[in-house]
C-alpha cells in the first residue's frame, strides 16, 4: 500500500472540480441557508428574553420550555437565577432560553443526519458527491473537537425528556385560563394586561387564574404538532436505534419486544432527515407564531372558545 | 410495444457525442467519439460501439452486463456509476456524455483502474468466527439455529457486488488519499455483515477504531447515494458500527455496565 496520493490524470483537483452536469449545488446551498437562518433566528430569539408566551392562553414557545427561571406564568422560579452574576447581566441579560437551548442544539449538532447536512453545506467536506475539495488536511471524527460527537446518546437522553415536556406544553395549549366568572383570565403588570414590552423580564402581578378550560385555538394545533414532529425525530435517532436493539446480534426464535422496538425506531429512522428538517422548521414556526401573537402582530384564531360570553 | 414500433425502427438513430478519457498513469486526455443511440441502450453499449468502430484499443473492463459483476464501474457525467446499468434515457438529452475512470484508484489505461488495494483491505477483516464447542447457543449435536429476522441485516450487506463505487466516491479516499489509514465503506459493510451475524463470535470493534479508522467517516452518505444495490451503507452498516465503537470506547456508562455485568457478545 502506498501512502502517496493516487495520481489519476483523468480528474481535475481543487475546489468544486467535477464533471457532474446536474445542479448538485442546489441541495447544499438550500440546506446550508436553512441551517444558518435557523441558527441566527434561534440565537436572536434566545437573546430577546421575552415574547415567548401569550397572555390569556397556555401557549409557551418551545424555545423557552421548560422555563426554569423566568418572568412569565410558565416559569417554575420567578426572575433570573442567583448564579447569573450581575456583571454578566449587564452585558448579557438573562433569558430563560439560555438554560434549555443547549439541549436541542447539542442533540441536533451531534445528530448523524445534521452532521451530514452541515459537513456538506457549511464545512464543504465534501460539498457534494464526487465534487472536488481543496482542503489538504482531514481528521474526520477521529480527533477533537469532532470526536466529542460520540456523546450523541447523552444528548438523546436529555432530548427525550425535553420531548415529553414539549408534549405537555402542546396539551396545555388546549387549556385556557379563566377567571371566577368563566371569562378569559389575563395576567397583569401594574394592573394592566401584559402586552408589548411587559413580556420582557417583567415581574407579573400576584394575581392568579381561577381555573383552566378546554378550548382550541390555531396556536393549540400548532403547539401540538410541534412535539409530534420532535418526537418523530427524537425516536428515530440512530443512537436510540442502537440502544434499543441494534447493538444485539440475536433476537431469539420469535421477534421479541426488543426486536419490535428496534423495528419501530428503524421505521422512523428511515426518514430521519425529513423528521429532522420538518421538526426544525416547525419548532421555529411555532416560536414565531407565539411571538407574533404576543407582539400583537398577529391575533390567535379561536376555533373553539372556552370563555363565557 | 412502443420500443419496437415501426416509426422507431425506421427513423434515423440519434447520435450522441461521448467524451472518453484516454490515457494511463503518465497522463492523457479526453477524446470525443460519436455513437448511435437506440431505445433501451446503456452507456456500456455505446462504449462497445465506439470500441468496435472507432477505438479498437480502448480499454474497458466489463463482464456480466447485468449489474451483478461490478466490473464496469466508471464515472459518467461526473457520477460514479455502473456503465451497464446507466440507460441513455436517464442522462440529460443534450450535450456530451463524459466517461472517466474511477478517481480513487490508480489508472492502468483508459477506463480501467487498479482496484487491487480493495482486496488487500478485505484480508484485514477477521472472518466469520463460529461459536466454540460448549457455546450455550449450540445444540447438543453441534448445530446452530438462526432465524430470518436475525439475519435480515447481514443479508442486506451480502447484496454487495464489489463494484467499489462507494470506495470511489468516499471523499476520505477520493479527495484525501487516506488509503493507508481508512478501510472505506465497502469494507465497513463487510465488517458489519460479520459483526451483526448471529453466528459470529469475533469482536472487531478494536480493529474498526484503530485500524479501519471508522472515525474518518463523516457520514456524508455519498456511498449510499451511489450504491447500485441500494444498500443503506451509512444508516445500516457504518453508523451501527460507530455506535458499537462508542459502546466500547466512548460511553462511560456502558463501560460501568460491562464492568458490573461482564462483557459479552450479544
Tell me the per-residue pLDDT of A118-127, one tens digit each, with 9 for 90 and over: 999 999 999 9
How far is the C-alpha of A77 from the C-alpha of A92, rounded, in Å? 20
Sheet holding B14-24, edge to edge: B27-37, B14-24, B97-100, B73-76, B79-82
Q: Is residue B47 part of a domain?
A: yes
> Coil, strand or helix: which one is B7?
helix
Kindly report the CA angle at B179 between B177 and B185, in degrees rounded to 5?
Answer: 105
What's the rounded Cα separation, in Å, for the pair B254 and B248? Answer: 7
Question: Residue B12's pLDDT is what?
Answer: 64
Nearest chain B residue to A131, by CA: B78
Task: Give residue B173's Cα distance to chain centre.
Answer: 13
Whether B231 and chain A come into contact, CB under 8 Å, resolves to no
Burial (CB count <10 Å: 0-12, 13-18, 19+), residue B109: middle
Q: Is residue B204 part of a domain?
A: yes
Residue A299: half-sphere exposure toward Cβ, Cα within 13 Å: 3
The string of pLDDT tens digits covering residues B39-62 is 999 999 999 999 999 999 999 999
Establish if B266 belongs to a structural domain: no
Residue B82: beta bridge partners? B73
> Rounded CA gap, A117 and A124, in Å?
10
Final residue of a domain: which of B77, B112, B147?
Answer: B112
For residues B25 and B142, membership in a common domain is answered with no
The pLDDT assigned to B4 comes to 44
Radius of gyration of chain A (CA): 24
Q: Quick one: pLDDT band at residue B142, thresholds 50, 70, 90?
A: confident
CATH number of B7's domain: 3.10.20.30
Q: Which of A21, A152, A249 sits opposite B197 (nearest CB)?
A: A249
**Residue B79 and residue A18: Cα distance in Å, rounded?**
9
Q: A6 vs B106: CB contact, 8 Å cut-off?
A: yes
Chain A residues within 8 A of B203 when measuring between CB atoms: none
Asked if the C-beta of B151 comes within 8 angstroms of chain A's C-beta atoms, the answer is no
One domain for residues B210 and B179: yes
Is B106 at the interface with chain A, CB within 8 A?
yes
Contacts of B192 in chain A (CB under 8 A): none
For residue B32, what are the domain limits? Answer: 2-112
- Distances in Å between the Cα of B166 and the Cα atoms of A130, B86, B93, B95, B118 are 11, 16, 27, 27, 11
Examine the pLDDT at B8 and tell me if it is beyond 50.
no
Domain end call among B93, B112, B131: B112
Residue A15: inside a domain: no
Q: Which of B147, B179, B196 sits opposite A1 (nearest CB)?
A: B179
Provide the whole-model pTM: 0.92
**pLDDT per residue over A149-175, tens digit each?**
999 999 999 999 999 999 999 999 999
Domain match, B6 and B124 both: no
Spell out which residues of chain A touch residue B217, defining contact as CB-CB under 8 Å.
140-141
A 263-302 → B contacts, CB under 8 A: 269-270, 272
Q: Which domain holds residue A99?
A: 26-131+143-304
Q: Does B77 touch chain A (CB under 8 A)?
A: yes
How confident is the model over B59-91, as pLDDT tens digits? 999 999 999 999 999 999 999 999 999 999 999
Determine the average pLDDT of the residues in A28-47: 97
Cell readout for A159 is 432530548
Residues B101 and B135 placed together within one structural domain of the fold: no
B125 and B65, same domain (yes or no): no
Q: Domain ends where: B112, B146, B180?
A: B112
Point out the residue among A8, A112, A129 whose CB comes nearest to the CB of B225.
A129
- Give the one of B106, B234, B250 whose C-beta lies nearest to A8's C-beta: B106
Residue B167 CA to residue B189 CA, distance in Å, equals 11
Alpha-helical (H) ranges within A173-237 are: 218-234
Let me know if residue B219 belongs to a domain: yes
Q: Which residues of A touch B221 (CB under 8 A)?
A: 116
* Residue A14 sits at the chain B interface (C-beta within 8 Å): no
Q: Classify residue A190 by burial, with Cβ atoms within 10 Å: 0-12, 13-18, 19+.
A: exposed
Q: Which residues of B touch A4 (CB under 8 A)?
A: 177
Parallel/antiparallel/unpaired status of strands A77-78 and A69-70:
parallel
204-263 of A, contacting B, C-beta below 8 A: 238-239, 241-243, 246-255, 259
Number of Cβ within a 10 Å radius of residue A246: 22
pLDDT of residue A306 exceeding 50? yes
**A17 in contact with B, Cβ within 8 Å:** no
> Smallest Cα–Cα separation from B86: which of B47, B114, B29?
B47
In chain A, how many domains are there?
Answer: 1
Shortest CA gap A145–chain B (Å): 12
Q: Give the count of domains, chain B.
A: 2
Residue A57 confidence (pLDDT): 97
Does the CB of B103 have a partner CB in chain A at under 8 Å?
yes
Please indicate, yes or no, whether residues B16 and B32 belong to a single structural domain of this protein.
Answer: yes
The dihedral over CA atoms of A271, A46, A51, A274, expressed in degrees to the nearest 10, equals -10
Rounded to the nearest 5 percent, the helix, strand and coil shares of chain B are 40, 15, 45
ipTM over 0.90: yes
Please answer yes or no on whether A19 and B98 come within 8 Å at the CB atom.
Answer: yes
Tell whether B129 lies on the interface with A, counting CB pairs under 8 A.
Answer: no
Quick one: B100 and B121 in the same domain? no
Amino acid at each position: 500500500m502506498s501512502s502517496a496520493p493516487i495520481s489519476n490524470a483523468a480528474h481535475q483537483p481543487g475546489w468544486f472540480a467535477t464533471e457532474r452536469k446536474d445542479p448538485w449545488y442546489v441541495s447544499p446551498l438550500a440546506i446550508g441557508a436553512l441551517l444558518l437562518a435557523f441558527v441566527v433566528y434561534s440565537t436572536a430569539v434566545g437573546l430577546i428574553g421575552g415574547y415567548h408566551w401569550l397572555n390569556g392562553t397556555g401557549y409557551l414557545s418551545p424555545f423557552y420550555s421548560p422555563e426554569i427561571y423566568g418572568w412569565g406564568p410558565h416559569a417554575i422560579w420567578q426572575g433570573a437565577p442567583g448564579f447569573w452574576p450581575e456583571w454578566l447581566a449587564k452585558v448579557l441579560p438573562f433569558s430563560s432560553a439560555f438554560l434549555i437551548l443547549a439541549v436541542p442544539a447539542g442533540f441536533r449538532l451531534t445528530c448523524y443526519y445534521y452532521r451530514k447536512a452541515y459537513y456538506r453545506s457549511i464545512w464543504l467536506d465534501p460539498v457534494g458527491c464526487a465534487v472536488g475539495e481543496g482542503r489538504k488536511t482531514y481528521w474526520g471524527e477521529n480527533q477533537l473537537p469532532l470526536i466529542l460527537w460520540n456523546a450523541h446518546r447523552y444528548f438523546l437522553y436529555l432530548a427525550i425528556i425535553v420531548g415529553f415536556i414539549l408534549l405537555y406544553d402542546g396539551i396545555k395549549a388546549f387549556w385556557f385560563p379563566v377567571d371566577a366568572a368563566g371569562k378569559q383570565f389575563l395576567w397583569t403588570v401594574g394592573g394592566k394586561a401584559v402586552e408589548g414590552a411587559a413580556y420582557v423580564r417583567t415581574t407579573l402581578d400576584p394575581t392568579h387564574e381561577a381555573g383552566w378550560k378546554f378550548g382550541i385555538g390555531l396556536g393549540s394545533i400548532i403547539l401540538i404538532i410541534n412535539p409530534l414532529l420532535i418526537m418523530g425525530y427524537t425516536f428515530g435517532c440512530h443512537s436510540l436505534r442502537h440502544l434499543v436493539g441494534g447493538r444485539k446480534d440475536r433476537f431469539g426464535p420469535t421477534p421479541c419486544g426488543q426486536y419490535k422496538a428496534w423495528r419501530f425506531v428503524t421505521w422512523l429512522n428511515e426518514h430521519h432527515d425529513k423528521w429532522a428538517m420538518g421538526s426544525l422548521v416547525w419548532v421555529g414556526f411555532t416560536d414565531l407564531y407565539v411571538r407574533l401573537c404576543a407582539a400583537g402582530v398577529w391575533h390567535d384564531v379561536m376555533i373553539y372558545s372556552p370563555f363565557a360570553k | 410495444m412502443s420500443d419496437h414500433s415501426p416509426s422507431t425502427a425506421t427513423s434515423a438513430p440519434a447520435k450522441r457525442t461521448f467524451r472518453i478519457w484516454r490515457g494511463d498513469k503518465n497522463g492523457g486526455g479526453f477524446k470525443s467519439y460519436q455513437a448511435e443511440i437506440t431505445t433501451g441502450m446503456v452507456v456500456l453499449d455505446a462504449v462497445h460501439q465506439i470500441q468496435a468502430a472507432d477505438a479498437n484499443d480502448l480499454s474497458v473492463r466489463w463482464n456480466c452486463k447485468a449489474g451483478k459483476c461490478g466490473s464496469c464501474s466508471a464515472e459518467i457525467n461526473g457520477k460514479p456509476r455502473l456503465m451497464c446499468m446507466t440507460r441513455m434515457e436517464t442522462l440529460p438529452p443534450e450535450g456530451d456524455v463524459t466517461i472517466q475512470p474511477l478517481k480513487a484508484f490508480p489508472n492502468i489505461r483508459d477506463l480501467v483502474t487498479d482496484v487491487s488495494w480493495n482486496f488487500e483491505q478485505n484480508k484485514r477483516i477477521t472472518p466469520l468466527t463460529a461459536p466454540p464447542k460448549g457455546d450455550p447457543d449450540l445444540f447438543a449435536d453441534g448445530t446452530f439455529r438462526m432465524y430470518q429476522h436475525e439475519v435480515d441485516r447481514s443479508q442486506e450487506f451480502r447484496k454487495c457486488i464489489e463494484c467499489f463505487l462507494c470506495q470511489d466516491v468516499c471523499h476520505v479516499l477520493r479527495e484525501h488519499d487516506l488509503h493507508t489509514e481508512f478501510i472505506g465503506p465497502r469494507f465497513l459493510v463487510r465488517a458489519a455483515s460479520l459483526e451483526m451475524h448471529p453466528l459470529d463470535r469475533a469482536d472487531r470493534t478494536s480493529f474498526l477504531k484503530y485500524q479501519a479508522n471508522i472515525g474518518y467517516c463523516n457520514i456524508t452518505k455519498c456511498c449510499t447515494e451511489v450504491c447500485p444495490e441500494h444498500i443503506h451503507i451509512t444508516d445500516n452498516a457504518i453508523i451501527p458500527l460507530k455506535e458499537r465503537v462508542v459502546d466500547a470506547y466512548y460511553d462511560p456508562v456502558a463501560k460501568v455496565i460491562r464492568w458490573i455485568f461482564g462483557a459479552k457478545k450479544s
